[in-house]
Amino acid sequence: MGGRPPALALLLTATLAGFPAAADSPPAEEDWGNEPAPPSDDWGDDSSSTDDTISFDESDLTLEAARALSLTGFIRSDWGFWLERFGDDPPPDGRAAWSKGRQSLDLVLTGKQDFFRFRLAGHGEYDLRYLGDQAGSWDDFDDATEETYGWQILLREAFGAFSLGPVELTIGRQIVAFGEGDALSPLDVVNPRDNREPGLADLDDIRLAVLATRLAVFAGNHRVELMVIHEADFGLRSPPLGPCSAFNEVIPDAFRPLLVGKDVRFVDLQDRFDIELQQPLLRWVYKGPELDAGVYAAYVLDKQGTFAFPDAASVVDPTVKQLSLELDHQSYGVVGTSGAWAWDSLLVKWELGAQIQRAINVGDAAALPPRVEVERHSLIDVMVGLTYTPFSDLQLALEFQKSTFVTDADEVLFPIDLPIFALRMNYQLLNQRLTLGAAVSMFGLTSADEIGVLARASVDYEFIDGLQAGIGFIHYTPSDTLGPLSGLSTHDQLFLKLRWDFTVL
């Protein structure tokens, strides 16, 4: 969600075809709202001339009976074009500037009967850009990238929930959001994410369901929930040599020629289903008068993981065609508290958490040979968010997050303690048909070398119920030193989307 300054919004409003913007000027400031009440025959009821412009077919007011079973879905078409990626060396016919041609279908089946409800959701996608690369039309990406971005079939949520009085047991693949933050939430450690396109995917698309059992007890405004994740799923990410991989920045320059022609992949050390890798989580949540609050505790596998370079012999050996970059997702503890408090037009959100004995990479990846080690450290996380609604349908939200090492940590490879600012604006017009969005995230603050910026702007328009089109632009300024946006130095992108939501049942 995002937005644009009101001036631009008003300009767009006025230029939209068919929209009667200020066809007749409203009364002057001093008179407006003070004119005498109109006579009753001029009120605008069915007999007035104003109703001639908009009329309803009263037969449409009949409702079908509500169904206990529902099948809905959406088809989505996403297209993207690199704007500067090949600026220094443009491809001969411009085809490689095409970054994305993803087509996807999502289906959701839900049902409810007495004490039982279920949800079954699936997602299928293919990307013409990467499938074309795979078919040999172009040769811009390695095999791992073509496979990761080429197509995916994902079982999303698939769970059954049983309710007995104040107790509810949910079993299956599920998505659960911890914490209060929207863009930044250090406590939101439950679900893996689709990180293939940093900053580009919508917030509501990036959480991936995970197999878990959840037992919740509800009492008034309180909820106590025990959850155990049974699956070691670390989400989707750009492969090491993929288009959005920070690993490209970690590779010592001397090694780059040696990787040409090799298939380089991330390999998770943990098995996806291992009885010994159960991840327990506990939360208490209160949502009552004026205040929301929550307390969380978890012992989870680190979704980012630590990596180790492949052995040098494999790298230099031209006969070795496949290199594995192992990711070790060690368990660590998370405890924290969150809250939200509304006051007039302001909504304040916060999270305070601790990462206990988390494994992180330290060392010097640029050294020859690279020196990358793993140490365990503890961090304190703080997130503060402020949402302000200056006037109707415009939302401004600023979130700030900072992690601080509690233990001495030198030569941390990935600066996970950088301060992060996330500013979002969302402005809706034309009875929410038109949405103007903007988001800016800034990583780092104190040193110019460490500052990275991601900026995104978009316009979405709903033509008819369920049919929506959008256009947007995303810009990346990665930091000079290794940071969250590393590897995204030439990734500015224009993106287009078309989405149709439908109901089958």
Partner 1 sequence: MSTRIRAHWLLGSLCLLTAPALAVAPGETDAAKIMAAVQARPEGNRTKSRVLMMVKDSAGRERKRVVQSRAIDFPEGRKQMMLFESPADVRNTGLLSVDYDDGKKDDDQWLYLPSLRKSTRIAAGDKSGSFMGTDLTFADMTTQDPRDYAYKMLDANASEGGEACWLIEARPNNDKTATETGYVKTELCVSKDKLMPLRIKAWVKEGKKLKFIKFDDIQKLNGIWVVKKILAQTKRGDEVESKTIIAIQEVAFDQPDVKMEDFNQRRLEQGL
Residues 334-363 that bind partner 1 (CB under 8 A): 340, 342-347
Q: What are phi and psi of 257, to 5 degrees?
A: -60, -30
Decide: is 292 part of the binding site for partner 1 (CB under 8 A): yes
Within positions 86 to 125, which residues make up the interface with partner 1, using CB under 8 A? 110, 112, 117
Within positions 199 to 258, which residues make up the interface with partner 1, using CB under 8 A? 202-205, 207, 216, 218, 220-221, 223
Of residues 438, 439, 448, 437, the one with CA closest to residue 478: 448
Residue type, 300: V
Decide: is 53 part of the binding site for partner 1 (CB under 8 A): yes
Decide: is 175 part of the binding site for partner 1 (CB under 8 A): yes
- In the bound state with partner 1, the residue whose beta carbon lies nearer, of 58 and 93, is 58
Within positions 449 to 468, which residues make up the interface with partner 1, using CB under 8 A? 462-466, 468
Helix (H, G, I), strand (E, B) or coil at 122: strand
Binding mask 121-160 for partner 1 (x = CB under 8 A): ----------------------------------------
Q: Are β-strands 371-388 and 291-301 bridged in parallel, bridged antiparallel, or unpaired?
A: unpaired
Please list, in sequence order, all residues whose beta carbon lies within 8 angstroms of the beta carbon of residue 284, skipping any fewer than 6 positions away.
222, 223, 224, 225, 294, 295
- In the bound state with partner 1, the residue whose beta carbon lies nearer, of 67 and 256, is 67
Number of other residues whose CB lies within 10 A of the CB of residue 465:
10
Piece in contact with partner 1 (CB under 8 A), picked from 269-277, 327-335, 373-381, 495-503 = 495-503
Please list, in sequence order, all residues whose beta carbon lies within 8 angstroms of the beta carbon of residue 76, skipping any fewer than 6 positions away.
102, 103, 104, 105, 106, 497, 498, 499, 500
- In the bound state with partner 1, the residue whose beta carbon lies nearer, of 9 and 323, is 9
312: enclosing H helix or E strand: helix 312-316
Write down the least CB distance from residue 394 to partner 1, Å: 8
Decide: is 290 part of the binding site for partner 1 (CB under 8 A): yes
Among 11, 22, 267, 312, the residue binding partner 1 under the rule CB under 8 A is 22
Decide: is 50 part of the binding site for partner 1 (CB under 8 A): yes
Longest CA pairwise span in the chain (Å): 91
Q: How many residues bind partner 1 (CB under 8 A)?
A: 86
Among 5, 14, 27, 153, the residue binding partner 1 under the rule CB under 8 A is 27
Decide: is 59 part of the binding site for partner 1 (CB under 8 A): no
Write down the least CB distance from residue 501 to partner 1, Å: 4
Contact 497, 437 (CB under 8 A): no
Piece in contact with partner 1 (CB under 8 A), picked from 318-326, 388-396, 398-406, 445-453 = 388-396
Write down the least CB distance from residue 423 to partner 1, Å: 17
Quickly count helices (H) and strands (E) in the chain. 6, 23
- Terminal CA-to-CA distance of the chain, rounded, Å? 29
DSSP annotation of 159 reads E
Decide: is 168 part of the binding site for partner 1 (CB under 8 A): yes
140: enclosing H helix or E strand: none
Within positions 414 to 433, which residues make up the interface with partner 1, using CB under 8 A? 428, 430-433
Of residues 373, 377, 362, the one with CA closest to residue 411: 362
